Structures are given as structure tokens and as C-alpha cells.
């Protein structure tokens, strides 16, 4: 199954709430050439393909998109997800939507800090249980164990995220058969 079949492009409607926006954008062949040249000189640089995509922006900061580079960052988790699944961070709902499509997933709970993100994106995923809370302090219901837990609460790939990743892995470790964090390996390479 291709990456676009495993993780489909986002169909969340464009809109704004507070400082958050969901919008479509187009990447041209010229944009791709320049981006991919620059990416080839950066450790962990991520290439792009031309096309129309969706992005989530807070203020002037790009938080998430449904480009293939971003999909590649999440594909390992989506493939591992089974049983009851916990996702910390809703974003565009790209990961949530992909996991909900899997027949071996029985439930999806998403913990999201921003009520604006929930109002923009949450209605597109009615099958998921979306909890308005901070993943750093939220406590799952007593006795619940997850087949997979995914942590994606950061705006960018940065080694500064590693302490929070470690904290989240400790918090949810006993509750998860498997867990991971967005771009953890890249952050660890940056820190080395």
C-alpha cells in the first residue's frame, strides 16, 4: 500500500479559529526544485513533491502539513497502531484519520491542548474521542492500556523537544504496548 493510501490527504475544511488557520496551498515544480536542493544540504533534510496540500498554521508558524515528507514521519506509527490507540496532539488529524481507517484499531483517543484546533479539526473525525487537555498532565482512565501511543505536540523538529519526549514516554510507558514520538530519531541525531 502506498504512503498516500495508508495516510490519505487531509479533507478538513479551511478555516480559522483564534490564532490557528487551516488552509490549502500549492507547491509548484519550481518550488520543489529549490526546496529539494536546500534540503539536500541539511542533515535530515526532507524532500517534497509538487502538488496541493493542507497546512495548519498558528500565527505565522507552520505547525503541520499533509505533504509526503510529513506522512513519512508518521507512517511507522500508523502501521503499528492497533487496538485502543492514544494520540497526543491532533494537528490536522492526518494521523488520527489514517489510524481510524485500520480494521485492527478498536478506538482512538486524541489529547489536544488547543480548543481552537479542536474546533477547526475535531468535527472531521467524529469516530475519535477528542479530549481537551495537556498531554503532560492528562491521566488516562484507570485500567486503560493502549496498543499504541503517539506523541506529536511540537511545532518543529528540534533537539530541544527531547526532554518533553522522554517525559511523555515515562508518563505513558506502562500504559502502552508500543509508543513513539514524532521525529524523535532526527532530534536525537541533532543532539549527537
Of the pLDDT bands very low, low, confident and very high (cuts 50, 70, 90), residue 34 is: low
Pair (120, 52) in one structural domain: no
CB atoms within 10 A of CB 81: 25
Which stretches does DSSP call E strand in the chain? 15-17, 20-27, 51-58, 61-65, 83-88, 105-112, 129-132, 148-151, 179-181
pLDDT digits (tens, 9 = 90+) for 45-83: 666 777 899 999 999 999 999 998 889 899 999 999 999
| Residue (of 82, 140, 141, 95) closest to 121 by Cα position | 95
Count of alpha carbons within 13 angstroms of residue 187, beta-carbon side: 20
> 3-class SS at 76?
helix
The pTM of this model reads 0.90
Pair (181, 93) in one structural domain: yes
Q: 34: domain range? A: 3-68
What pLDDT shows up at residue 46? 65
Pair (22, 50) in one structural domain: yes
Q: What is the CATH number of the domain that holds 187?
A: 3.40.50.150
What pLDDT shows up at residue 81? 98
Pair (13, 50) in one structural domain: yes
What DSSP letter does each residue of 145-158 carry, written as one string?
A: -BSEEEE---SS--
What pLDDT shows up at residue 123? 97
- Mean pLDDT, the chain, whole residue set: 91
Count of alpha carbons within 13 angstroms of residue 166, beta-carbon side: 7
Pair (113, 180) in one structural domain: yes
- Residue finishing a domain among 23, 49, 68: 68
Domain count along the chain: 2
Pair (121, 134) in one structural domain: yes
- Residue finishing a domain among 68, 94, 122: 68
Ranking 16-30, 41-55, 93-107, 177-191 by mean pLDDT, the lowest is 41-55
User: In the predicted model, what is the mean pLDDT of residues 96-125?
Assistant: 98
Pair (92, 169) in one structural domain: yes
Pair (36, 20) in one structural domain: yes
Amino acid at each position: 500500500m502506498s504512503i498516500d493510501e495508508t495516510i490519505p490527504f487531509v479533507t478538513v475544511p479551511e478555516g480559522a479559529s483564534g490564532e490557528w488557520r487551516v488552509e490549502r496551498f500549492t507547491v509548484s515544480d519550481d518550488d520543489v526544485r529549490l526546496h529539494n536542493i536546500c534540503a539536500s544540504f541539511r542533515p535530515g533534510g526532507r524532500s517534497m513533491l509538487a502538488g496541493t496540500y493542507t497546512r495548519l498554521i498558528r500565527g505565522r508558524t507552520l505547525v503541520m502539513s499533509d505533504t509526503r515528507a510529513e506522512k513519512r514521519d508518521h507512517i511507522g506509527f500508523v502501521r503499528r497502531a492497533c487496538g485502543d490507540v492514544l494520540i497526543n496532539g491532533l494537528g490536522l488529524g492526518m494521523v488520527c484519520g489514517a489510524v481510524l481507517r485500520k480494521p485492527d484499531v478498536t478506538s482512538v483517543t486524541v489529547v489536544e491542548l488547543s480548543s481552537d484546533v479542536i474546533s477547526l479539526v475535531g468535527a472531521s473525525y467524529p469516530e475519535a474521542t477528542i479530549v481537551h487537555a495537556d498531554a503532560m498532565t492528562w491521566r488516562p482512565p484507570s485500567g486503560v492500556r493502549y496498543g499504541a501511543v503517539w506523541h506529536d505536540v511540537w511545532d518543529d523538529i528540534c533537539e530541544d523537544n527531547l526532554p518533553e519526549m522522554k517525559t511523555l514516554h515515562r508518563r505513558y510507558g506502562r500504559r502502552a504496548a508500543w509508543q513513539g514520538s514524532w521525529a524523535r530519531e532526527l532530534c536525537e541525531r541533532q543532539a549527537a
